[in-house]
Amino acid sequence: MAASLLSSSCSNPTAVLAMLVTSMMAAPAVVMASLHDDIELMFGGDHFAFHTGGDGVETLALRLDKDHGAGFRSKESYLFARYDIDLKLVANDSAGTVTTVYLTPDLVPPEEHDEIDMEFLGNVTGEPYTLHTNIFVNGVGNREQQFRLWFDPSKDFHTYSIEWNPKHIIMFIDGTPIRVYKNEASRGVPFPTLRRLRLDGSLWNADEWATQGGRVKTNWTQAPFYAYYRNFRVTPCTASCGEKGLDEAALRRPREDHLLYDYCEDQNRFKDNGLPKECTLD
């Protein structure tokens, strides 16, 4: 290609310039953002480290031991965006540990708190991870759905995403949708629309509830535990975000095969006041 462009440059330089511009426009723009520049420490500064591997990608390692874990947040907040980040979770006996990715605002009164959670609950060696999801609006959560991960998330990095726009919240694993929460505010269902949210991440001990309801405790002889984050990307919402239709078939497959718990199906839990309104809409 280069040789042919050079050979034709003397006879038709305008054509060569046009070809070069077209080639540059067709090539995808590759932007490697620095994770170090995009996030800031929340807690556990001595359990928080960056390194760059042989592939040139900067990775953040969070460490958990008996003293404490660690957490970070994005420096920027957004009112509607898609957040993507790659994680490799705690390996081997991870029971009692929780690795998180979630969206949350800056400090607000409890009754104004919004939050969109993806929490990865560790397990004993050989048993699968559970993904615990929840959505809080105006300080109220109780919208839990849980999934059994169908792969080993400690063997390699996988991409976890939260798409939040005026029409819906969608959670993805490696581009596959697993949960949708629609904006039905016009029908009386709470939906977060007022506060800008940051992406937070953390690794901490929650053995009072995380694994088998707290029956299996953290095995501290296996400490320290590590979780790894990299490739944090944010796509801010534009005027057209939310217009793309949801792939219902892609959503249905992981829910049919891997959904463990859905608050909308827990009649006993809500027997006194009935299921939340979003669970009963057509």
Q: Which of 58, 111, 112, 119 is catalytic?
A: 119
Secondary structure in 3-state letters for the chain: CHHHHHHHHCCCHHHHHHHHHHHHHHCCCCCCCCHHHHEEEEECHHHEEEEECCCCCEEEEEEECCCCCEEEEECCCECCEEEEEEEECCCCCCCCEEEEEEEECCCCCHHHCCEEEEEEECCCCCCCCEEEEEEEECCECCCCEEEECCCCCCCCCEEEEEEECCCEEEEEECCEEEEEEECCHHHCCCCCCCCCEEEEEEEEECCCCCCHHHCCCCCHHHCCEEEEEEEEEEEECCCCCCCCCCCHHHHHHHHHHHEEEEHHHCCCCCCCCCCCHHHCCC
Q: Cα–Cα distance between 243 and 206 in angstroms, integer?
A: 39
Contact call for residues 210 and 69 (beta carbons, < 8 A): no
User: Nearest 10 degrees: CA dihedral of 131, 49, 59, 54?
Assistant: -140
Q: Which of 115, 127, 144, 184 is catalytic?
A: 115
Contact call for residues 165 and 239 (beta carbons, < 8 A): no
> Tokens 């070069």 sit at which residue?
20
In the residue annotation, 119 being an active-site residue is answered as yes
In the residue annotation, 115 being an active-site residue is answered as yes
Contact call for residues 259 and 251 (beta carbons, < 8 A): no
Residues catalogued as catalytic? 115, 119
